[in-house]
Structure 1
Amino acid sequence: MPEPGLASEPGPAPAVAPAPEVDPAAAPAEPARRSVRWPWKVWSAWAGRWRERHPAGARALSVTVTVLAAVLVVAALVMPNSVVHLGPAKFLRIPGEAVVGAAVMLALPRRPRVVLAAVSGVALGAMTLLNALDMGFNQYLGRSFNLVLDWSLLTDAESYLEDSLGRTTTLAAVAGVIALVLLLFVVLALSTVRLSNVLARHTGTATRGTLIAGVVWITCSSLGLQVSGVPLASERTATALKVQARRVSDTLRDEAEFRKVARVDAFGNTPGSQLVPDLRGKDMIFTFIESYGRSAIEDPIMAPGVDRTLDVRTKALAAAGFHAKSGWLTSATYGGSSWLGHSTTMSGLWISNQQRYRTVMASDHMSLTEAFERTGAFDTVGVMPGVQKGWPEQKWYGLGKVYNAFQLGYKGPKFSWSTMPDQYALQQYQERVHSKRPAGGKSRMSLLILTSSHQPWAPIPKMVGWDRLGDGSVFKGIEAAGNDPADVIADTTKSREEYGKSVQYSVTALTEWLERYGTEDTVLVFLGDHQPIARVSGNHASRDVPVSIVAKDPRVLDKVADWHWTDGLRPAHDAPVWKMSSFRDRFLTAYGSTPHPRKG
């Protein structure tokens, strides 16, 4: 045995037994290795083979896709935010943002360039979405989309579509919009990445082209060159971004400032005994008619029917002993968001957005309706056929009792968004409220919000005999025979015609109720909450709505003689126009209220 550390002397090599033969058929099969082929790798391999086989077609397809990407990006950069500004000239412009973007892309290495291009595409998609929202809001609400406040209104729009077109159609529309928005982001991101890659592959040509484009843009901008009145040099997206940023800043600042304004109230400390003393003992009713605007009285399509109705109803009321005076109020809202018009009228504050509305509803700023409640001489009640869920605003309005859509016993069909015809709501008000005397010798103040003239104005109810209303089932045949909302929504002329008819119906229902059930003490104030949407009222329509005071007691109208309103239910074109927010204080003052300011 060798000592440790010493190599043993070599000996003969041991014999090696030959390996036994193995029958391949009997040997277990070795597991096959599976390679994962991702979809994009499969697509890339297929596309590579196709390009090799069809080089000319591949080049043509590549050029076509690049051109489409460029057209899409440029169109997004110069896209206006208003339907009335759409036109070919708006898209035949040189976007300065594209020139700057090309210069930046040429200066970056590959990875940062691709990342920046993708992020830029997504950002451009966001700006395009905001432009589209601006278009919709300008068309329907007469104002631009507010990035801070208006997201909640999209759920209201969904509910309106569901009431008008049905749940299935609405779900399909919502799904389609979501898919379209996602597609917009993806396609714009891919387009900007593709264009940045093209620039990188052709650096020399791209650099020269960028310089030329920059010189042309500066020249056009400096000289103010235009095509069809539209400047050739565009910085639309940069301007829109600045406008959005300023709008957000102004909204946040406005919120803080409005809180201070809402704490100031000319009648905030007025004792109840000094509020509306000249209306004690009166049967006081405030009524809003949905979308009842100046256009209904002055537009050449809607006005003939509406004006004829107002004149006929003025004469009918006069025969029953009622007389009226009418003027104009400029609403804080347009095309929708009716609650802003209601709260502006009742608060004496300019409530033009949702944040202001929330601020006032959470405050103790006195509403006009609450002024009657504070007197202790009036019971206060609301009839709200459009309210279909909890309504915490009841407290701010100072209403002791509110009847919502589910508390009026209606068994008939909905008329699109409107839960029940105005005539039925008024009859229920008569049976449940107006026909019953308040306890304790009090008078009553009522707030009614009528809904039959709410868009889409199809189908429209028809007047039936007041003694035939029952539980509303009588309206089933009328609703079934009415227009399809989808047909009216898609036709601008039809929308305007049907809108006028809906206003005629609402005015007729209200004034027939007054003629039938009004008393010597009844005082009715009724007005519109806002103009109808721009597609009906026009892109340059005012925000004015008619307002009327109707009473039998001549002393009621004598109190407002110095307002110089027009006699009758139809205000003259040149009748006084006030901001809607001024109505509360003018009304309180006219009927003897003594100001005792609260200064916040």
Structure 2
Amino acid sequence: MPNLPRICLALLLLNSALTFQNRWPTIGVRWVPELSLELAVLLLALALLAAWRGVPGRATRNVLFGCLLVLVLGRYLDVTVPALMGRSINLYWDSQHLPRIVAMFMDNVAGWQWLLALLALLALLFALAAVLRWAFSTIMATLARPVGRRGIGALTLVLLMMYGAGRLSPRSPTEHWFALPVTGMLVEQAKLILDATVFRDHGRIAAQPPLPVSDLGRLGGGDLFVIFFESYGALVFDDPCFAVPLAGDFATFEHSLAAFGWRVVSARVESSTFGGSSWLAHSSLLSGLRIADQGDYQDLLASDRATLTSRLATVGYRTISVMPGLKYAWPEGQFYRFDRIYNAEGLQYPGPAYGWWVIPDQYSLYHIHQAEVAPSGRAPLLVFYPTINSHAPFAPLPPYRPDWSVFDAPPTAAVVAEAVELNQRLDGRELASAYLQSVRYNLAVLGGYLRRYALANALLLVLGDHQPPAVVGGRDIPWQVPVHLFSRDPALIEAFEQAGFQPGIMPGPAALGGIEMLGPLLLRTLDSRRPNAPQPTPLTATAPQIR
């Protein structure tokens, strides 16, 4: 066969473009010694077509090359997204969040740097397309010659027979020589698009049972905090890489709170999302339904379903939402009917920016305490607060300030300079270290608030929204998140232990259920009309003034 080395190089390039794997934990790829089933099928079909009617014309070749590029792009998404996020991609829903993701990564980057990066990316894509075009044209030219058609046809036929033998016989290892087909991923994406549009069951939400009604009598008029720690996953207790260095932090945290009368019970639940899309977990808890994709979310917002917010409002609670990461209009927030939504602008943060998220979580909690919790003669509160500083990339991280009153004064020049030094970007394995530090920051903020400011009759539900992205803790791990309840009322603590929570900060090994069961569990457990429900222990609503 003429030009055999050139033909072999072309085949190697085309095969490699459909079999590469992710180079974890980056967006790069690496070569692997696997074979492409799609390429073998395509080449055999082209060899038979060329023998029957001749090599396809230019227009057909362009279409075929375009299909090849789609397969290459599909392969990249199929191996990169699960490696970084820990879940498969859903092109229909995930693509809608791309503009905000780009905006986050463009933060504090000069325009000329982005322009240079864009030009470099375009040059790389053009070069890759040119190389693949050369390889594809070389194979098409080979198919135009009888000896080339016979050689490629025989090779691909042998490969397909090897694949078939491996599929038919468990003793044959030949199937494992082939990469997973890309077409399976594309078919799955087509199915997801149809399920989200043509075949979507828009009546599912309305058909679900409503949230239980509760008088919240067992809370005795105390405030209820629902605090979502961003990216706080069960791996902080399960993975030795995180559990070992954090063990002392958790022990110190629990011991310090016990000295102030705070008791904690813990459990774990299955989140409805992984590595991102936090609002799915938030809406699952508030609605009592498993909201697992954007379609479920939109159907919920279009319904008139009662939520945890409206249930508490019915019995006289003032409901507020603290959203320091909310920088854009949030019209869907009207569905939850919060009495007040404190977004990034509403929090009135005057200090230096810490990354794209800007506002330290410690400041947000302190601001809400001063504005909503501290005033006397008010209604009891539901405070719904998703934190933001432990969001990827987990840096720059603001320092924890033991003296919370520092936020009452304008930031000093020293504080501004410190923030500038912290404004750095982390890549690769450094993210795991940054994530660990963000968990420590969460514990410091929560512990400081409970010791210094939290009212004695408050109940705090603190949980994670999802596991961190797979680039931090790996893929193929459970979608579980820890849940902690903090109270100074022994009767309440006992009630939640009876509901399945474990004493202490360490959650049990098995999940109680999905994250959506927490809202109904709260309402039922806090209802004083429940048979044999112990009454709340009388507690003063004043906060300890100890740092």
Normalized against structure 1, the TM-score is what? 0.78
Deviation at 1:295, TM superposition (A): 1.4
Asked if residue 588 in structure 1 is aligned to residue 523 in structure 2, the reply is yes
Aligned to 2:294: 354
For 1:6-85, what aligned pairs fall within 5 Å after superposition? 67-79=8-20
| Alignment size in residue pairs | 521
Partner letter of residue 88 of structure 2? S
Unaligned regions of 5+ residues in structure 2, if any?
A: 531-547
Aligned to 1:578: 513
Aligned to 1:100: 45
Distance 2:432 2:505 in 1: 21
Distance 2:233 2:191 in 1: 31
Distance 2:50 2:312 in 1: 67
Distance 1:468 1:223 in 2: 68
Deviation at 1:396, TM superposition (A): 1.9
Unaligned regions of 5+ residues in structure 1, if any?
A: 1-59, 596-600
CA contact (8 A) 1:160 1:417 kept: yes
CA contact (8 A) 2:19 2:32 kept: no
Q: State the Cα deviation string for residues 274-303 of structure 1 (Å, max 9, x = none).
A: 453433511111111111111123322322
Aligned to 1:242: 187
| Residue among 341, 345, 357 paired with 2:285 | 345
Between 1:401-410 and 1:156-165, the stretch displaced more is 156-165
Distance 1:197 1:505 in 2: 62
Q: State the Cα deviation string for residues 165-192 of structure 1 (Å, max 9, x = none).
A: 6665455445544554565556545543
Aligned to 2:464: 528
Deviation at 1:99, TM superposition (A): 2.1
Distance 2:114 2:407 in 1: 32
Distance 1:300 1:547 in 2: 19
For 1:354-393, what aligned pairs fall within 5 Å after superposition? 354-375=294-315, 377-393=316-332
Identical columns (%): 25
Asked if residue 401 in structure 1 is aligned to residue 340 in structure 2, the reply is yes
Aligned to 2:161: 218
For 1:177-576, what aligned pairs fall within 5 Å after superposition? 177=121, 180-181=124-125, 184=128, 187-189=131-133, 191-200=135-144, 202-223=145-166, 231-232=176-177, 236-252=181-197, 256-257=200-201, 259-267=202-210, 274-279=214-219, 281-375=221-315, 377-437=316-376, 439=378, 442-464=379-401, 465-470=403-408, 473=411, 475-482=415-422, 484-485=424-425, 488-490=426-428, 492=429, 494-572=430-508, 574=509, 576=511
Q: State the Cα deviation string for residues 119-155 of structure 1 (Å, max 9, x = none).
A: 1111121122122123332123222222322211222
> Larger RCO: Structure 1 or Structure 2 (Cα < 8 Å, ≥ 6 residues apart)?
2
Partner letter of residue 417 of structure 1? W
CA contact (8 A) 2:36 2:178 kept: no
CA contact (8 A) 1:120 1:192 kept: no
Partner letter of residue 13 of structure 2? L
| Residue among 62, 66, 83 paired with 1:139 | 83
Q: CA, structure 1 residues 555+266, in 2 after alignment: closer, same or farther (shift >3 Å)?
A: farther
Distance 1:72 1:295 in 2: 39
Normalized against structure 2, the TM-score is what? 0.85
Distance 1:211 1:438 in 2: 86
Partner letter of residue 345 of structure 2? F
Distance 1:348 1:281 in 2: 23
Distance 1:175 1:578 in 2: 48
Aligned to 1:90: 34
CA contact (8 A) 2:21 2:32 kept: no
Deviation at 1:443, TM superposition (A): 1.4
Q: SS state of the match for residue 290, structure 2? A: coil
Aligned to 2:61: 117
Distance 1:250 1:195 in 2: 38
Q: SS state of the match for residue 359, structure 1? A: helix
Partner letter of residue 124 of structure 1? L
CA contact (8 A) 2:230 2:389 kept: yes
Q: SS state of the match for residue 431, structure 1? A: helix
Q: CA, structure 1 residues 521+166, in 2 after alignment: closer, same or farther (shift >3 Å)?
A: farther
